[in-house]
Amino acid sequence: MGCLEGLLPIEIPSKEILEEVLEKLNIKSSPMYFFQDDNGAGAGNNKQYKGYVEIVDYEASEDYQFEGPWKSNPEDAEDAAALVALEQLKTIYPFEIIDVNLKEVIRLRKENAQLQNKLRHIQTILEDLITEDILGKVRRT
């Protein structure tokens, strides 16, 4: 997993940070990721992937395309392209990534997972109650 090496001392995927930055900049377009492989031309037929990201700022009528370095898998290639995009966008738009509170991100992810589990449990209970009610009505008739 890539991260904003040098910009942030933590492991949060650059793709997630890029999406957050675009939202804060009020850019409505979602980044579009794609990659190409080297057709096994790498040493020992180890495929390499180059990530690209395209961002369209509809309000400013601008279209930006960024190219990342070669990586060993598509996910890392896309994440590396997101990192390049973040670094380049800093020269175009006035923003700075000051801090990301990793403990808060982890806490929110855990809370989200707990809430998802509770929701699944409630849905199961509701389904059971509905099934029992339907069976009860069938038995009464």
- The answer to the question of residue 7 being in a domain is no
The residues near 101 (Cβ < 8 Å, ≥ 6 apart) are none
- Measured distance between the N- and C-terminal CA atoms of the chain, rounded to whole angstroms: 60
**pLDDT at residue number 8:** 44
The structural domain count of the chain equals 2
Query: How is residue 28 written in tokens?
Result: 């409505």
CATH number of the domain that residue 27 is part of: 3.30.160.20
**pLDDT at residue number 9:** 46
- The answer to the question of residue 1 being in a domain is no
User: Could you tell me the strand order of the sheet in which 49-57 lies?
Assistant: 32-37, 49-57, 62-71
Assess whether 48 and 82 both reside in one domain.
yes
Q: Closest Cα to residue 51, out of 31, 39, 34?
A: 34
Residue 5 has pLDDT above 50, yes or no: no
Instruction: State residue 30 phi and psi, 5-degree precision.
Output: -80, 145
Q: Closest Cα to residue 33, out of 53, 60, 17?
A: 53
Assess whether 83 and 119 both reside in one domain.
no
Assess whether 114 and 80 both reside in one domain.
no
Q: What is the pTM of this model?
A: 0.57
Q: What is the pLDDT of residues 107-121, one digit of tens each?
A: 667 777 888 899 999
Q: At 88, is the secondary structure helix, strand, or coil? A: helix
Query: What is the average pLDDT across 35-43?
Result: 66
Which DSSP letter does residue 64 get?
E
Tell me the residue range of the domain where 117 lies. Answer: 101-141
Please tell me the number of Cα atoms within 13 Å of 70 on its side-chain side. Answer: 10
Assess whether 84 and 116 both reside in one domain.
no
- The answer to the question of residue 64 being in a domain is yes
Among residues 92, 116, 132, which one ends one of the domains?
92
Q: How many helices (H) and strands (E) are present in the chain, helices listed first?
A: 3, 3
- % of the chain beyond a pLDDT of 90: 10
**pLDDT at residue number 122:** 92
Please tell me the number of Cα atoms within 13 Å of 102 on its side-chain side. Answer: 7
- Average pLDDT value for the chain: 78
